[in-house]
């Protein structure tokens, strides 16, 4: 059976887990309580990087996530990151450039409604993200609403529906229905080699919309 490391960062997905100091062992037990099916897919261990709103996630958290993946890279077959939806694309994009030489799946997922609620998309997203993480997919991806997208080609387009994400200019890496379709022809062509984590970020970047250098 494959081994998957579940990395938790916070967001809507884990809103039932209200204790920000929850230990990893307790966290995974809570996940297995709500979604026992994942035990039939893989051996699951967990690591909590944070339990915060995704709007507060930034460079320091990206580095922590990458370090956790690097430290556990040889022990696990794949990695699933539970993350808030608002900045999931930013984290996926950062990791796609940080994890140089990646040869294993790193899949971010989350939900529009908390795992603890009856009518939630969290169960479906988690089960399928874990199963896809057992496949040989050498990408950082985002799984949402039955599709796996390349992380750095994904956009959040919907705050209301379960189809929150899309990849308008690049085809999906996989789709889940009655079966699972893996589109290997869409995978990034990578050189073989050892995982190398790149951390040289600049925090001197500023974006201001509707800004003009010219006065009216």
Domain presence at residue 101? yes
The reported pTM is 0.88
The backbone torsions φ and ψ at residue 180, rounded to the nearest 5 degrees and listed phi first, read -120, 125
Say what percent of the chain tops pLDDT 70: 88
Domain presence at residue 25? yes
40-95 residue pLDDT tens: 999 999 999 988 888 889 999 999 999 999 999 999 999 999 999 999 999 999 99
Domain presence at residue 53? yes
User: What's the mean per-residue pLDDT of the chain?
Assistant: 87
Element (H, E) at 34: helix 24-34
Domain presence at residue 207? no
Residue span of the structural domain in which 124 resides: 3-197
What confidence score (pLDDT) does residue 4 get? 98
Domain presence at residue 124? yes
**Mean pLDDT over residues 137-161, rounded?**
92
Domain presence at residue 57? yes
Structure tokens at 143: 């799984």
What confidence score (pLDDT) does residue 211 get? 52
Structure tokens at 40: 């039939």
Structure tokens at 74: 């040889």
80-137 residue pLDDT tens: 999 999 999 999 999 999 999 999 999 999 998 888 788 888 899 999 999 999 999 9
CATH of the domain at 64: 3.40.50.1170
Say what percent of the chain tops pLDDT 90: 60
Higher pLDDT pick, 187 / 25: 187
Domain count, the chain: 1
**How would residue 165 be classed by pLDDT, with cut points 50, 70 and 90?**
confident
Q: Which residues 6+ apart lie within 8 Å of 75 measured at CB?
A: 3, 5
What is residue 6's three-state secondary structure? strand
The one catalytic residue in 12, 85, 109, 120 is 12
Q: How far apart are CA 172 and CA 17, in angstroms?
A: 31
The answer to whether the beta carbons of residues 200 and 69 sit under 8 Å apart is no
Domain presence at residue 210? no
What confidence score (pLDDT) does residue 25 get? 55
The answer to whether residue 134 is catalytic is: no
Domain presence at residue 36? yes
Q: Output helix, strand, coil percentages for the chain, rounded to the nearest 5.
A: 30, 25, 50
What confidence score (pLDDT) does residue 191 get? 65
Closest C-alpha to 125, from 14, 30, 33 = 14
**How would residue 34 be classed by pLDDT, with cut points 50, 70 and 90?**
confident
The answer to whether the beta carbons of residues 82 and 6 sit under 8 Å apart is yes
């Amino acid at each position: 059976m494959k081994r998957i490391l579940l990395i938790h960062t916070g967001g809507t997905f884990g809103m039932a887990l209200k204790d920000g100091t929850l230990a990893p062992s307790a966290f995974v037990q809570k996940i297995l309580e709500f979604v026992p099916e994942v035990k039939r897919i893989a051996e699951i261990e967990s690591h909590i990087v944070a339990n915060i709103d995704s709007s507060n996630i930034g460079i320091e958290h990206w580095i922590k996530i990458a370090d956790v993946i690097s430290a556990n890279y040889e022990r696990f077959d794949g990695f699933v990151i539970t993350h808030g939806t608002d900045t999931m694309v930013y984290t996926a994009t950062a990791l796609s450039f940080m994890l140089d030489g990646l040869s294993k799946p790193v899949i971010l997922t989350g939900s529009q409604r908390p795992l603890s609620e009856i009518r939630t998309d969290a169960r479906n997203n988690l089960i399928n993200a874990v199963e896809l993480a057992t496949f040989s997919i050498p990408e950082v991806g985002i799984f949402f609403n039955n599709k796996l997208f390349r992380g750095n080609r994904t956009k959040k387009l919907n705050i209301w529906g379960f189809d929150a994400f899309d990849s308008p200019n690049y085809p999906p890496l996989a789709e889940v229905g009655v079966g699972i379709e893996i589109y290997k022809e869409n995978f990034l062509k990578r050189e073989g080699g050892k995982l190398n984590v790149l951390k040289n970020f600049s925090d001197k970047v500023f974006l201001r919309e509707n800004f003009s250098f010219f006065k009216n």
